[in-house]
């Protein structure tokens, strides 16, 4: 008989469409049209898809067609699958049997076609000269209850996962979350079926690895992180110049990997070429795997500390819930004593239930970005619903206490053990690629399965705990404001709840960051070992065509290289936006890259210098656009950009707090005397302009204290009156903020700066092949943080000091870059005194950014010369409006409605006075009731006198004062017990 070359075709995608004139050209490439040309050399075709759409008559003569699809849809009356032979044999004088049709095997979950349509045609061809007809093809379908989820394969899930990643990357977070949740459930169900055990072990490993990726991405979404694991508003700490250099270097690496992948899939024809290319690919993947392993080992050491932190937070929650229950008992006793107060029991019980709910909840402090729309609807509860439920409970405190938050859930799972055992198992793998290729990577992967499953399960439990206890920051902030405004009796508790909420949010960020890193690295290592195994097996087959499994991992290698390039592109875009406060003009158009690759044909799969330059130009075009935009912005702003200084003296209260070992947080925006017309303020340097201290006791010249000045990590910038907020710190597990200006002061008055390590900076410089001048003064190494931010000050004496170094006075000198606001616009700044008052102000017209009314402190920007009316509320909680003053405290008006013509930048302060009940002398924390908190404060100062370390004259409340805290003061406190 005659022989001919035939093809085996594999097609994989999320949605695969066969339709005439469709952009994917699949129909034209594989259909055998009735009017020619003949396409009859496809022996086998396998399609993996979530949705397969057949919209025309698809004729695949004698092809054995296998379909794995969740949905198979025939659209249109002409849509059908046909495997009937195309018989173009010459006529024969003797009987010749007809040709057999191809078989169709369907692994599908659902199927649809038009009513009355016949979507399958599998007839054999007629015989020649009286010969018998060919055999019809067999149609086999798993659309029954015996083999559910048979359509689910690593190929289709890989395509779905790629689609979900793209959706997440480009901001379609709700769609990404839906896809990930769906396939997490599907794979979980599949692993629970009896058919799972009979599944190809290779498929099991691949599905388990992708399941881990799905859980990791879902956890990232649930924590409000962006695609690359950064918190909302995050910007790189390195400068734009340095980030640009890293991006340029990544272009060099990525282009070669992308081209090798493209060439291997599209241009490799000789067996030797294919084997060499696969070998290069395996080497590249193995190098990345070793890098991942080193990073994994470093991150894994953080897990035990997080477990200890979780235990401490759980204890704090328990203590605070006890305080809330004691407060309820106190108020109940007070209500029983004061008849007219009994009707108020429901509202304060509601307040306490609200505080208890917040204590046991996860507050999404960064609230914006990340998941966005995906958390809307029924995914998380609301505070009002939870409060209503608690109010209906006869005993609400057990319900509150039994809520399982992230901290308690993390203590329950053994994540630290799972990550440690996973690392032990990986360490047992040989560190040479040749041994892995000889033994087969799958044998090592089997040892990682149990720990990987445990890690994925732990992350899923944390995610579910986060979902069950999640409340939005805006909702909680509104509730806490309402509680404070209702009665100052709750002020102290609200402050404690707020502080704990902040600590819990920091812990949750630390936990999510560490778990994300560990699981991402573990998943990447597993995926790389599977890729090595797949490419190694294909190389051993010595076929000219890359088999589907190897092609899948070659494509995945391409995706990961592309993802790294996209990451650096994203970093550069964020650096640009932080630097210029404008949207980035960059557009990473990958289509152009692959179009260019089609025009370059290299026999060895390697790029020569000219070809490399041609491809590199596609990416560099984006940088040229960026350069042009920066140049134009520079020309527009150079005349108004300058560096200016401002001084700031610390108050006596702040000095006392530093000496007591307490950190001091300074809101620079309100504390430093910046000019009203200055915008885009960025700190150049913070210096101690004056430091005075004295020594108590004996000392030697080795005694010293560190004076730490750290940036809070959140930068607020203003340009043309518009406000922008950025977050600098990504690795929140570090204890010290990396943006700092620290000094060491010795007992003899000498001081020295505590600079960044030369070794660490040298390591960074060594990576910057394209930016040799970074950090030299010509090129900034780090991005400059905003001056509208918190500065955190600490005094840390050496424990071995002989004497006590006591600070008397500190003056800071802050040098900052700034741009003057354009004179055609004027800003209106409204603030309150006291500053923490959340009064609601009405403004009669929107500003240029369509902002209008505001709460507390806010800014609005109008065209210069505009007349605006701002109206303050006459009453805000227990505070009454008194007057308006200017920024210097001079009275402007006593009318709550203030009319202003904005001829310049203007600041107005709404002054309020406390009008609540007269505070008892024993109400030390000024929460309008004498209670256990006040008693504990007095007991800490018990029997102290002036000169003692714990002496506080505020507790000397005997009449007359006797300079000692004793029974007379305790009697005065008892007289006011549980009274307003």
Residue 324 has, within 13 A of its CA and on its CB side, a CA count of 29
Q: How sure is the predictor about 551, in pLDDT bands with cuts at 50, 70 and 90?
A: low
Question: What are the pLDDT digits (tens) for 8-31?
Answer: 888 888 899 999 999 989 999 999
The whole-number average pLDDT for the span 890-896 is 94
Residue 347, pLDDT > 60, answer no
Identify the pLDDT of residue 1.
47
Q: Which of 205-209, 306-310, 691-695 is predicted least confidently?
A: 306-310
**CA gyration radius, the chain:** 35
Residue 302, pLDDT > 50, answer yes
Say how far apart CA 479 and CA 356 lie, in whole Å. 12
List Cβ<8 Å contacts ≥24 apart for 143-149. 143/106, 143/108, 143/109, 143/110, 143/111, 147/107, 147/195, 148/109, 148/189, 148/193, 149/109, 149/186, 149/189, 149/190, 149/193, 149/195
Residue 139, pLDDT > 80, answer yes
Identify the pLDDT of residue 682.
94
Say how far apart CA 282 and CA 261 lie, in whole Å. 12
CATH 1.10.1330.10 fits 918-980, yes or no: yes
Residue 209, pLDDT > 60, answer yes
Q: Per the omega criterion (within 30 degrees of 0), is the bond before 238 cis?
A: no
Q: How sure is the predictor about 470, in pLDDT bands with cuts at 50, 70 and 90?
A: low
Q: Which residue has the higher pLDDT, 759 or 102?
A: 102
Q: How sure is the predictor about 473, in pLDDT bands with cuts at 50, 70 and 90?
A: low
Q: How sure is the predictor about 832, in pLDDT bands with cuts at 50, 70 and 90?
A: very high
Q: How many CB atoms lie within 10 A of CB 482?
A: 14
Identify the pLDDT of residue 384.
47
Say how far apart CA 912 and CA 914 lie, in whole Å. 7
Q: How many CB atoms lie within 10 A of CB 718?
A: 21
* Share above pLDDT 90 across residues of the chain, in percent, rounded to a whole number: 24
Identify the pLDDT of residue 344.
47
Say how far apart CA 345 and CA 341 lie, in whole Å. 7
Q: How far is CA 325 from CA 311, 318, 332, 531, 647, in A?
A: 21, 11, 11, 57, 47
469: tokens are 């206890």
Identify the pLDDT of residue 378.
29
Which position has the token pair 């006593």?
Answer: 894
Mean pLDDT for the chain?
75
Q: Which of 7-16, 264-273, 650-659, 909-918 is predicted least confidently?
A: 264-273
Let me know: does 248 contact 770? Beta carbons within 8 Å: yes
Tell me whether strands 858-863 and 825-833 are parallel, antiparallel or unpaired: antiparallel
Nearby residues of 483 by Cβ (< 8 Å), 6 or more positions away = 351, 354, 355, 490, 494
Q: Which of 111-115, 523-527, 868-872 is predicted least confidently?
A: 523-527
Question: What are the pLDDT digits (tens) for 165-202?
Answer: 888 887 788 899 999 999 999 998 888 888 888 888 88
Identify the pLDDT of residue 411.
56
Name the β-bridge partners of 879. Answer: 876, 914
What 8-state DSSP symbol labels residue 761?
H
Let me know: does 245 contact 774? Beta carbons within 8 Å: yes
Q: Which residue has the higher pLDDT, 393 or 630?
A: 630
- Taking the CA atoms of 424, 428, 429 and 431 in sequence, report the sign of the dihedral they define: positive
Q: Which residue has the higher pLDDT, 480 or 709?
A: 709
Nearby residues of 249 by Cβ (< 8 Å), 6 or more positions away = 767, 768, 769, 770
Q: Which of 388-397, 420-429, 824-833, 876-885 is predicted least confidently?
A: 388-397
Q: How sure is the predictor about 552, in pLDDT bands with cuts at 50, 70 and 90?
A: low
Residue 74, pLDDT > 70, answer yes
Question: What are the pLDDT digits (tens) for 752-805?
Answer: 998 766 655 554 555 555 554 444 444 567 789 999 999 999 999 998 999 899
Q: Per the omega criterion (within 30 degrees of 0), is the bond before 220 cis?
A: no
The whole-number average pLDDT for the span 343-358 is 53
The CATH homologous superfamily to which domain 825-914 belongs is Collagen-binding surface protein Cna, B-type domain (2.60.40.1140)
Identify the pLDDT of residue 69.
93
Domain ranges of the chain: 7-141, 164-234+287-524, 239-268+546-642, 650-816, 825-914, 918-980
Q: How sure is the predictor about 651, in pLDDT bands with cuts at 50, 70 and 90?
A: very high
Report the predicted TM-score, pTM, of the whole model to 2 decimal places.
0.59
Q: How sure is the predictor about 695, in pLDDT bands with cuts at 50, 70 and 90?
A: very high
What 8-state DSSP symbol labels residue 135?
P
The whole-number average pLDDT for the span 136-140 is 92
Say how far apart CA 680 and CA 641 lie, in whole Å. 9
Q: How sure is the predictor about 952, in pLDDT bands with cuts at 50, 70 and 90?
A: confident
Question: What are the pLDDT digits (tens) for 676-688?
Answer: 888 899 999 999 9
The whole-number average pLDDT for the span 549-564 is 66
Question: What are the pLDDT digits (tens) for 568-589?
Answer: 778 888 888 888 888 877 765 5
- Taking the CA atoms of 238, 244, 245 and 246 in sequence, report the sign of the dihedral they define: positive
């Amino acid at each position: 008989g005659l022989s001919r070359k035939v093809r085996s075709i594999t097609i994989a995608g999320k949605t695969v469409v066969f339709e005439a004139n469709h952009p994917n050209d699949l129909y034209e490439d594989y259909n055998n049209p009735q009017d020619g040309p003949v396409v009859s050399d496809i022996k086998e075709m396998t399609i993996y898809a979530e949705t397969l759409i057949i919209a025309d008559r698809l004729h695949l003569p004698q092809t054995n067609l296998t379909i794995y699809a969740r949905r198979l849809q025939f659209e249109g009356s002409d849509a059908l699958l046909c495997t009937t032979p195309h018989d173009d044999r010459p006529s024969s004088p003797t009987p010749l049997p007809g040709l057999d049709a191809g078989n169709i095997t369907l692994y599908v979950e659902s199927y649809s076609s038009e009513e009355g349509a016949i979507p399958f045609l599998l007839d054999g061809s007629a015989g020649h000269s009286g010969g018998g007809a060919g055999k019809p093809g067999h149609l086999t379908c798993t659309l029954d209850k015996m083999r559910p989820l048979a359509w689910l394969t690593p190929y289709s899930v890989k395509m779905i996962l790629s689609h979900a990643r793209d959706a997440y990357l480009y901001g379609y977070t709700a769609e990404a979350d839906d896809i990930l949740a769906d396939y997490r459930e599907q794979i979980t169900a599949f692993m629970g079926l009896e058919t799972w055990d009979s599944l190809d072990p290779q498929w099991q490993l691949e599905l388990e690895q992708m399941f881990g990726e799905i859980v990791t991405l879902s956890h990232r979404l649930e924590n409000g992180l962006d695609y690359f694991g950064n918190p909302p508003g995050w910007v790189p700490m390195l400068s734009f110049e340095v980030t640009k250099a890293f991006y340029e270097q990544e272009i060099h690496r990525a282009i070669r990997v992308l081209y090798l992948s493209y060439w291997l899939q599209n241009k490799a024809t000789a067996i030797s070429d294919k084997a060499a290319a696969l070998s290069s690919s395996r080497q590249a993947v193995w190098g990345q795997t070793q890098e991942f392993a080193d990073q994994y080992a470093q991150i894994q050491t953080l897990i035990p500390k997080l477990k200890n932190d979780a235990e401490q937070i759980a204890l704090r929650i328990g203590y605070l819930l006890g305080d809330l229950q004691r407060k309820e008992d106190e108020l109940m006793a007070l209500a029983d004593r004061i008849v007219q107060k009994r009707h108020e029991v429901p509202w304060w019980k509601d307040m306490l239930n609200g505080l208890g709910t917040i204590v046991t909840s996860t507050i999404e402090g960064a609230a914006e970005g990340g998941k966005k729309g995906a958390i809307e609807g029924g995914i998380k509860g609301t505070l009002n619903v939870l409060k209503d439920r608690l109010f209906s409970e006869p005993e609400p405190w057990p319900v509150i206490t039994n809520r399982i938050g992230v901290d308690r859930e993390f203590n329950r799972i053994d994540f630290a053990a799972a990550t440690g055992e996973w690392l032990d198992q990986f360490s047992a793998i040989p560190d040479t690629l040749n041994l892995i290729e000889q033994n087969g990577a799958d044998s090592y992967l089997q040892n990682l399965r149990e720990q990987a499953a445990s890690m994925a399960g732990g992350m899923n439990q944390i995610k579910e705990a986060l979902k069950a206890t999640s409340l939005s920051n805006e909702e909680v902030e509104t509730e806490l404001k309402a509680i404070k405004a209702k009665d100052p009796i709750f002020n102290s508790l609200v402050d404690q709840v707020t502080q704990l909420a902040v600590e819990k949010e920091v812990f949750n960020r630390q936990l999510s960051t560490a778990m994300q890193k560990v699981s991402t690295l573990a998943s990447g290592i597993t995926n790389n070992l599977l890729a090595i195994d797949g490419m190694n097996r294909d190389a051993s087959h010595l076929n000219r065509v890359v088999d589907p499994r190897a092609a899948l991992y070659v494509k995945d290698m391409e995706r990961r290289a592309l993802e790294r390039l996209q990451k650096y592109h994203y970093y550069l875009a964020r650096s640009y936006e932080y630097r210029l406060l404008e949207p980035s003009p960059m557009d990473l158009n990958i289509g152009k890259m692959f179009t260019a690759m089609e025009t370059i044909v290299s026999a060895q799969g390697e790029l020569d210098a000219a070809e490399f330059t041609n491809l590199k130009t596609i990416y560099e075009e984006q940088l040229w656009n960026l350069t042009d935009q920066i140049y134009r912005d520079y020309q527009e702003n150079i005349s108004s950009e300058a560096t200016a200084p401002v001084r700031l003296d610390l108050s006596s209260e702040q000095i006392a707090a530093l000496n007591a070992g307490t950190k001091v947080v300074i809101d620079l925006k309100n504390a430093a005397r910046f000019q009203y017309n200055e915008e885009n303020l960025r700190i150049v340097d913070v210096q101690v302009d004056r430091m005075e201290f004295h020594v108590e006791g004996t000392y030697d010249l080795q005694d010293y204290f560190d004076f730490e000045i750290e940036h809070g990590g959140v930068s607020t910038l203003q340009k043309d009156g518009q406000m922008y907020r950025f977050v600098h710190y990504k690795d929140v597990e570090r204890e010290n903020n990396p943006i700092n200006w620290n000094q060491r002061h010795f007992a003899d008055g000498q001081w020295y700066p505590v600079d960044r390590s030369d070794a660490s900076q040298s390591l960074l410089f060594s990576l910057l092949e394209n930016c040799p001048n970074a950090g030299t003064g010509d090129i900034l190494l780090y991005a400059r943080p905003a001056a509208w931010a918190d500065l955190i000050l600490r005094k840390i004496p050496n424990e071995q000091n002989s004497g006590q170094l006591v600070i008397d006075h500190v003056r800071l000198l802050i040098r900052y870059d700034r741009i003057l606001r354009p004179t055609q616009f004027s800003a209106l700044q409204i603030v309150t005194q006291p500053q923490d008052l959340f009064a609601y102000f009405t403004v009669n017209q929107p500003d240029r950014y369509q902002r209008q009314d505001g709460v507390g402190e806010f800014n609005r920007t109008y065209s210069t010369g505009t007349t605006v009316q701002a109206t303050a509320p006459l009453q805000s909680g227990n505070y009454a409006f008194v007057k308006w003053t200017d920024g210097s405290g001079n009275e402007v008006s006593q009318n709550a409605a203030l009319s202003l013509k904005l001829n310049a930048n203007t600041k107005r302060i709404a002054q309020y006075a406390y009008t609540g009940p007269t505070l008892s002398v024993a109400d030390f924390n000024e929460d309008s009731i004498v209670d256990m908190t006040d008693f504990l404060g007095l007991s800490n100062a018990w029997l102290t006198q002036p000169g003692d370390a714990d002496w506080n004259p505020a507790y000397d409340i005997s009449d007359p004062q006797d300079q000692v805290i004793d029974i007379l003061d305790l009697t005065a406190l008892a007289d006011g017990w549980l009274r307003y």
